[in-house]
């Protein structure tokens, strides 16, 4: 019997990232190709397809579906289930059906995506009508989240509304077989946005597209600073090989030392930094993040772009405009500093008038365009840890893609997040939608921006949360705001529990784990400031199993900047006399040291803490790597960048059990470092031994926890685990000894993950 004469019908249910990314047109084209009839529609939690035709064609269709990621990298199918159903007589065609539920709205808004290969080819194709057009895009690439004002995601609701499509663009937009079918930002030189060049008062100095780019490149080559309007905001750019230009940018931006991100072509990046396969894939991914790469030495970049660290942060050109700039710069400029267009810690600037007024004193020239950016979205930052990618800052390219859970929460949830590196999170059905990186909330402008962002995202994903989660810190502005919301339930979550819960959420598991947290600070249930913790935790509850023994920390806000403060606290706790010679290098002002010591003695403005971040500060100071954090984690990062991979030794420490809790006592660590320093032991070796000791005491605690509870899965989180050396040492040690290790990869290990953790805990209570 010829099976091809038999007609079958199958229902296919798909989950994963399958909505709002041109998936249904893709299915439509596939059905046409294999001469199948039926339909496709969006369902609350995914996509449902019915197809009818002969067996071979149906099988080919399903095979192609499974490999759809190769055609369209935005498509990520997590599950695909099929079942045979009754055939329908006289069905003539395949249709895209209107969605039957409102739930799909959540998935309509997708992230901003780097220029795709097809658009790039057209950009440099003389015969294409979008040749050298700085805003070329298609369904697979271009702006999304940054241009949407409200839902549904249609052109009139985006900042493209003011541009009327020409006939040529329109034709592609309505043709279901075209790559630009329903690509809302589709445009061309005739009908779309345009670039222009201004001086720092906003006076237009050039309007011809190619001349604008050529002139910008010339000025950059001349050592000038340009503000360049990108996808999610302004960048401040200068030639990364020009010391004077980089210095000028630093002084005008009032940014002393923090490493600058850079942009260059892939082959050029390889001449400056070590690019392994994983990192190359990340650089070239559709999200196009900044990737941290080990420096190659010597290199021709000016040292002040990234002093005090052993990595460079590089990204590839990710908009057509960037590609045009780099094509024009070839042979003239190798790499550009591309740092966020903002002042100090204020929000990224995306509006033209604000850019001119605030950045006018920094930039000599402005490369602008008339496509409005509605939402500012910073560049995302990633690195490779233990052979897999991990986010350090999650924004452009990722937001607002949800973290998808197998289970649906019964209530809609808002989680306010943390104080530093804030993000917030909404839960709708089985989706956790985490906001872009917002910033540090102590800045009043950031707080204002946070409030606006909450309202914007709320509208965009159509949620009205009745359950609210926040940090239990009494004074976080985010928590104070959350406590005042009209809600059925307000859940206050301990900071480090939220860290571990974020790992559980992104790994979509509800198990109870051994949670190891390496963090700066977080408010504890005993009013102390926690930071180096071992928790036995699930999404339902947690217990504190062990922690770094408390030490006194004097001086409020200064405590996280001046390294002498934690050092004197640790010295006091362990009765260690730090040699005058070393102290003088750290804080030459003897009177100031005395005041801090008295403060600790009399317990004035002193907290008890188990902070690991501050221990890093103390250690860095002790070995002469700096005494002040001009930006967060500056001197801990210097310690990491010095550490020698080949050094396997550790310093001594003790685990002391008391009332069912373990304290990590580190007298031996401090004394050992002092001794090595006085003995002039190689700095690289001391730094490695310091890291090794921390990995080792975490490992020993995990062993104790496994012994007492039988749990074999360890989850690690906390800002200090952004330290690749420490993370890799610990992960390796744990895995070699039979532990399963879960860590943050989709979320940053720093406080950017807190809102997801809070939301996951609230969702577990609301299920």
Contact positions vs Fe ion (CB under 5 A): 519, 751
Closest CB 470 distance from Fe ion, rounded Å: 14
Closest CB 189 distance from Zn ion, rounded Å: 8
**Which ranges of 439-540 does DSSP label H, i.e. alpha helix?**
444-461, 477-483, 495-506
Residues in contact with Zn ion, counted by CB under 5 A, come to a total of: 10
Subset of residues 177 to 236 that bind Zn ion, contact rule: CB under 5 A: 188, 190-191
- Region from 163-171, 200-208, 273-281, 740-748 binding Zn ion, contact rule CB under 5 A: 163-171
- What tokens does 615 get? 């221990």
**Distance separating alpha carbons of residues 570 and 559, to the nearest angstrom:** 13
Spatial CB neighbours of 228, under 8 Å, sequence gap ≥ 6? 216, 234, 235, 236, 237, 321, 325, 338, 367
Look-up: residue for tokens 């926890």? 705
Closest CB 719 distance from Fe ion, rounded Å: 5
Residue 532 touching Zn ion (CB under 5 A): no
**Distance separating alpha carbons of residues 505 and 41, to the nearest angstrom:** 28
Q: Which does 138 bind (CB under 5 to 8 A by kind): Fe ion, Zn ion, none?
A: Zn ion
Closest CB 706 distance from Fe ion, rounded Å: 24
**Distance separating alpha carbons of residues 430 and 421, to the nearest angstrom:** 25
Q: Which is nearer to Fe ion, 36 or 532 (CB)?
A: 532
Quick check: 438 and 377 in contact, CB under 8 A? no
Backbone angles phi, psi at 642, to 5 degrees: -85, -20
Q: Which is nearer to Fe ion, 185 or 477 (CB)?
A: 477
Closest CB 192 distance from Zn ion, rounded Å: 6
Closest CB 315 distance from Fe ion, rounded Å: 26
Burial letters 151-164, b for 16+ CB under 10 A, else e: eebebebbbbeebe
Q: Which is nearer to Zn ion, 191 or 683 (CB)?
A: 191
Subset of residues 108 to 127 that bind Zn ion, contact rule: CB under 5 A: 116, 119
Q: Which does 517 bind (CB under 5 to 8 A by kind): Zn ion, Fe ion, none?
A: none
Q: Which does 378 bind (CB under 5 to 8 A by kind): Fe ion, Zn ion, none?
A: none
Q: Which does 321 bind (CB under 5 to 8 A by kind): Fe ion, Zn ion, none?
A: none
Q: Which is nearer to Zn ion, 151 or 166 (CB)?
A: 166
Q: Which is nearer to Fe ion, 122 or 519 (CB)?
A: 519
Look-up: residue for tokens 């509800």? 510
Closest CB 321 distance from Zn ion, rounded Å: 14
Closest CB 133 distance from Zn ion, rounded Å: 9
Q: Which is nearer to Zn ion, 116 or 413 (CB)?
A: 116
Beta carbons within 10 angstroms of residue 86's beta carbon = 7
Q: Which is nearer to Fe ion, 140 or 502 (CB)?
A: 502
- Region from 136-144, 224-232, 268-276, 323-331 binding Zn ion, contact rule CB under 5 A: 136-144
Residue 350 touching Zn ion (CB under 5 A): no
Q: Which does 188 bind (CB under 5 to 8 A by kind): Fe ion, Zn ion, none?
A: Zn ion
Q: Which does 595 bind (CB under 5 to 8 A by kind): Fe ion, Zn ion, none?
A: none
How far is the first Cα of the chain from the last one, in angstroms, to the nearest whole number?
52
Best CA proximity match to 496, nearest among 526, 467, 468: 526
Concatenated DSSP letters of 560-586:
GTBTHHHHHHHHHHTT----HHHHHHH
Q: Which does 751 bind (CB under 5 to 8 A by kind): Zn ion, Fe ion, none?
A: Fe ion
Sheet of strand 37-43, all strands in order from the earlier edge strand to the far edge: 76-84, 8-17, 46-53, 37-43, 94-96
Best CA proximity match to 308, nearest among 624, 736, 688: 624
**Distance separating alpha carbons of residues 246 and 241, to the nearest angstrom:** 8
Closest CB 41 distance from Fe ion, rounded Å: 42
Look-up: residue for tokens 């001794």? 675
- Candidates 109, 123, 141, 264; binder of Zn ion (CB under 5 A) is 141
- What tokens does 609 get? 């803490």
Burial (Cβ within 10 Å: 0-12, 13-18, ≥19) of residue 486 = exposed
Q: Which is nearer to Fe ion, 327 or 528 (CB)?
A: 528
- What tokens does 317 get? 């050109």
Q: Which is nearer to Fe ion, 22 or 757 (CB)?
A: 757
- What tokens does 606 get? 């002193």
Residue 138 touching Zn ion (CB under 5 A): yes
- Candidates 31, 169, 282, 694; binder of Zn ion (CB under 5 A) is 169
Quick check: 119 and 138 in contact, CB under 8 A? yes
- Bridge partner residues of 515 (DSSP): 535, 715
Q: Which is nearer to Zn ion, 116 or 504 (CB)?
A: 116
Q: Which does 261 bind (CB under 5 to 8 A by kind): Zn ion, Fe ion, none?
A: none
Q: Which is nearer to Fe ion, 352 or 751 (CB)?
A: 751
Closest CB 746 distance from Fe ion, rounded Å: 17
**Distance separating alpha carbons of residues 372 and 376, to the nearest angstrom:** 10
Residues forming contacts to Zn ion in the complex (CB under 5 A) are: 116, 119, 138, 140-141, 166, 169, 188, 190-191
């Amino acid at each position: 019997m010829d099976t091809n004469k038999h007609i079958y019908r199958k229902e296919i249910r798909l989950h994963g990232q399958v909505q709002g990314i041109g998936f249904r047109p893709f299915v439509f084209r596939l059905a046409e190709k294999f001469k199948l009839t039926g339909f496709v529609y969006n369902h609350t939690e995914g996509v449902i397809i019915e197809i009818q035709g002969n067996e071979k064609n149906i099988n080919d269709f399903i095979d192609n579906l499974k490999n759809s990621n190769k055609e369209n990298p935005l498509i990520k199918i997590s599950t695909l289930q099929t079942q045979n159903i009754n055939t329908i007589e006289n069905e003539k065609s395949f249709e895209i059906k209107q969605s039957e539920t409102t739930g799909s709205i959540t998935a309509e808004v997708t992230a901003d995506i780097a220029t795709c290969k097809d658009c790039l080819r057209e950009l440099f194709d003389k015969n294409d009508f979008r040749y050298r057009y700085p805003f070329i895009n298609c369904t697979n690439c271009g702006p999304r989240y940054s241009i949407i004002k409200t839902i549904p995601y249609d052109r009139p609701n985006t900042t493209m509304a003011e541009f009327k499509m020409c006939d040529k663009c329109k034709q592609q937009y309505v043709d279901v077989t075209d790559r630009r079918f329903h690509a809302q930002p589709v445009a061309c030189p005739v009908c779309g946005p345009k670039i222009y060049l201004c001086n720092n008062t906003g006076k237009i100095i050039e309007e011809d597209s190619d001349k604008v780019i050529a002139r910008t490149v010339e000025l950059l080559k001349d050592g000038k600073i340009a503000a360049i309007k990108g996808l999610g905001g302004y960048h401040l750019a200068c030639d990364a090989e020009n010391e004077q230009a980089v210095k000028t940018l630093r002084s005008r931006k009032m940014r002393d030392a923090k490493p600058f991100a850079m942009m260059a072509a892939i082959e050029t990046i390889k001449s400056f930094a070590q690019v392994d396969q994983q990192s190359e894939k990340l650089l070239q991914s559709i999200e196009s993040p900044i990737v941290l790469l080990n420096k190659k030495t010597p290199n021709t970049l000016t040292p002040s772009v990234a002093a005090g660290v052993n990595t460079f942060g590089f990204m590839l050109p990710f908009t057509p405009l960037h590609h045009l700039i780099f094509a024009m710069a070839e042979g003239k400029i190798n790499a550009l500093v591309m740092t966020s267009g903002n002042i100090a810690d204020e929000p990224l600037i995306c509006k033209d008038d604000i850019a001119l007024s605030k950045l006018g004193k920094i930039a000599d020239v402005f490369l602008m365009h008339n496509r409005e950016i509605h939402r500012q979205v910073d560049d995302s930052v990633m690195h490779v840890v233990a052979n897999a990618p991990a986010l350090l800052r999650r924004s452009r390219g990722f937001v607002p893609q949800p973290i998808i859970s197998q289970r649906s929460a019964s209530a809609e949830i808002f989680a306010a997040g943390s104080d530093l590196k804030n993000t917030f999170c909404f839960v709708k059905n089985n989706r956790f939608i985490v906001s872009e990186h917002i910033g540090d909330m102590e800045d009043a402008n950031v707080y204002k921006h946070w409030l606006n962002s909450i309202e914007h995202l709320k509208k965009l994903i159509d949620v009205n949360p009745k359950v609210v989660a926040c940090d239990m810190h009494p004074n976080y502005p985010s928590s104070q705001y959350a406590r005042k919301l009209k809600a059925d339930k307000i859940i206050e979550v301990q900071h480090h529990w939220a860290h571990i819960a974020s790992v559980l959420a992104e790994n979509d598991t509800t198990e109870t784990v051994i949670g190891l947290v390496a963090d700066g600070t977080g408010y504890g249930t005993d009013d102390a400031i926690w930071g180096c913790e071992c928790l036995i935790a699930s999404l339902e509850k947690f217990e504190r199993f062990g922690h770094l023994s408390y030490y006194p920390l004097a001086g409020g806000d200064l405590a996280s900047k001046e390294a002498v403060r934690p050092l004197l606290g640790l010295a006091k706790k362990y009765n260690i006399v730090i040699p005058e010679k070393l102290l003088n290098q750290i804080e030459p002002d003897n009177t100031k040291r005395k005041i801090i010591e008295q403060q600790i003695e009399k317990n004035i403005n002193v907290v008890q803490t188990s902070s690991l971040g501050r221990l890093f500060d103390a250690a860095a100071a002790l070995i002469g790597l700096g005494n002040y954090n001009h930006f967060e984690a500056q001197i801990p990062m210097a310690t990491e960048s010095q550490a020698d991979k080949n050094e396997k030794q550790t310093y001594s420490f003790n685990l002391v059990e008391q009332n069912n809790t373990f304290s990590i006592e580190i007298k031996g660590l401090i004394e050992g470092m002092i001794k090595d320093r006085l003995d002039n032991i190689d700095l690289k070796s001391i730094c490695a031994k310091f890291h090794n000791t921390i990995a080792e005491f975490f490992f020993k605690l995990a062993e104790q926890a496994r012994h007492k509870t039988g749990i074999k899965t360890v989850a690690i989180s906390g800002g200090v685990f952004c330290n690749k050396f420490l993370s890799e040492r610990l992960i390796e040690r744990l895995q070699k000894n039979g532990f399963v290790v879960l860590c943050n990869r989709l979320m940053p290990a720093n406080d950017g993950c807190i809102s997801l953790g809070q939301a996951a805990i609230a969702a577990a209570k609301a299920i």
